[in-house]
Structures are given as C-alpha cells and as structure tokens.
C-alpha cells in the first residue's frame, strides 16, 4: 500500500480503495445529525414546481392543424392546383 494513502480524506480513501482494489483501515467517523425535513412541505413544493402556465395541448393542436391548412392552400396557389373549394 502507498504510505501517502494513510492520511487521505475518508472520501478520497474510499475512491482509492475502489480503484486500487485494496482495503485500508478506516477511522471511525461519526456522521453529524441531519435535520428532519417536513415532508408535507417538500411534497407541496414539488407539485407547485411541476405546474406550468402556457397553452393547452388542445390549443396547440388547433394551431398546428390551421398552420398546415394555410400552408397547403398557399402551395396549391403557387402551383396553380385546382382545389374544389377554392375559387
């Protein structure tokens, strides 16, 4: 084992162990207590983050259909095609 690996940060030591395939002795470290999170508030924030303003899918569909209709009529006039409902 590399003698420099003995004084590494615990996270670096874990990465070193994974890469080198060795096991170095781990000092006992205690995890600091974590604050409890209010789950109802965090769930509420997620729901409000997903709501978006904007156009409805039905309105977008109508706009797309109208675009293709107008686009077809314009090209029919350019190529002088006979369409029964056009003059």
Reading the block at residue 19, the tokens are: 């890469």
**Per-residue pLDDT for 50 more than 90?**
no
Separation CA 64–CA 58 (nearest Å): 10
Q: What is the pLDDT of residue 12?
A: 86
The model's pLDDT over 35-44, given as tens digits with 9 standing for 90+, comes to 666 556 555 5
Residue 11, pLDDT score: 87
Q: Could you tell me the residue ranges of all domains in the chain?
A: 56-87
């Amino acid at each position: 084992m590399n003698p420099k690996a003995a004084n590494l940060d615990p996270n670096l030591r874990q990465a070193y162990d994974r890469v080198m395939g060795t096991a170095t002795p781990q000092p006992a470290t205690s995890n600091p207590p974590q604050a409890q999170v209010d789950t109802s508030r965090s769930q509420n924030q997620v729901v409000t983050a997903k709501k978006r303003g904007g156009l409805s899918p039905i309105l977008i569909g109508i706009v797309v259909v109208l675009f293709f209709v107008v686009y077809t009529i314009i090209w029919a006039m350019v190529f002088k095609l006979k369409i029964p409902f056009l003059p």
